[in-house]
Structure 1
Amino acid sequence: MQREDWRRLRAQYEELLRRYQVPHPFRVEDLSAAVAAERGRPLSLLPMPDGLPTNTGICGMWVSMGARDLVYYTPVTSRTHQTHIILHELAHILLDHREPSVPQPEMLAQLFPDLDPAMATRLLGRGRTKAGTRQEQEAELLASVMWQHFNVAPVAVPTATTDTADVLGRVLGSFTGRGGRGRRR
């Protein structure tokens, strides 16, 4: 994708997100509820079940069923990463992406044990192998724009002592040629 494409898409995504009013502080559940209300269909956020094959590379999945949407995310990562996974899948929903790929049959059987295998093969799933596709790039960009638009970017909280920060400043200063001095008190 060219730089101009990114700029154009970013502007479109900012416009798209203006129609969603979510409370502050941001919760991904509130955005999911707003998306569900706009679409007129329930949207559930679900952790992927234990025991899924670990070599799939899939950490999130949007499944569009007849009258509802399911967004699965991996529970074995940080809350920040889970939020990003969910935002990425919500981006696919908002952009109305359709993907012809089919998740592994073992995974679908665990996610949907009561579904006919033929129906399960029509479900939407994405893995790392598809990360270079246009749809994946668009969803990743929209997820990133969501972080900024809704002001949810994780904030670093200083946890080091002043002494530790001074030592770090001297060490970093020795690499940057600034004389290696820490902060003055």
Structure 2
Amino acid sequence: MSLRQLRKECEAGLADLPIPVPFTLDQLVANMEEASGRTIRLHEMPDRLARVNAACGLRLKAGGTSLVLYRRRPTAYQTQHVILHELCHEWFDHGTTLDAEQLRTLLPVFDTSLIARMISPAAAASFASGGGTVQARAQYATHDERMAEFGASLIPRMARDLTTDDMVGRLDNSLSRPVAHRRRGLFPGKRSGDA
């Protein structure tokens, strides 16, 4: 698949993502929870789990809850990108999963007690029996991983292109793009105020 095709597929998949104005991760998660009816929890992985070849982002999905684990990166932008990558998996409803050996390689101390504490004992039992979905941001060999990675790059651009009609929004728009035409939404036919 070409980069152009990947971009079009990502744009189509993210067209109805409820991006908040102004953009914050917390509000994006709240909007995604409302739109999907699922609970999404973000949790920073402790430093003791951070190894050179360990995953920098991990999504665990069971029942009505998804847990996004992430490693803090050197900059806030990089950390946000890791989180957005996992949230793209959630929004695109990717269902691929890592097997137990791949998971142990990427996150050596992972076990179901973490899931029991963060989500629920029932979710931990589901993962132990192979019933949950586990995805990690560590390799990009699959279409789902490339989609999530590209989507994580698109979301901040989409958020910057959305403006509000109040005085501050109009001022920000005119000063940040003094020669460009005002855009109400990133995609043709879709206005930022449409629900």
**What TM-score, normalized to structure 1?**
0.67
2:36 is matched with 39
Structure showing greater Rg: 1
Unaligned 5+ runs, structure 1: 153-185
**1:78-122: CA deviation from partner (whole Å, max 9, x where unpaired):** 211111001100111122212231311622356336534724784
- Match status 1:23 vs 2:20: yes
- Please report the RMSD computed on the Cα atoms of aligned residues, expressed in angstroms: 2.6
Indicate conservation of the 8 Å contact 1:52/1:110, yes or no.
Answer: no
Aligned-residue sequence identity (percent) comes to 28
- Match status 1:107 vs 2:104: no
1:144 is matched with 153
Alignment of 1:126-141 (within 5 A): 126-128=136-138, 130-141=139-150
Residue 134 to residue 22, structure 1, CA distance change in 2 (3 Å): closer
Three-state SS of the structure 1 residue aligned to 2:69 is: strand
1:71 is matched with 68
Question: Which is further off, 34-43 or 7-16?
Answer: 7-16
CA distance in 2, matches of 1:20, 1:100: 23
CA distance in 2, matches of 1:81, 1:136: 17
- Match status 1:89 vs 2:86: yes
Alignment of 1:146-165 (within 5 A): 146-151=155-160
- Match status 1:124 vs 2:134: yes
Residue 113 to residue 42, structure 1, CA distance change in 2 (3 Å): closer
Q: How many residues align?
A: 148
Residue 127 to residue 10, structure 1, CA distance change in 2 (3 Å): closer
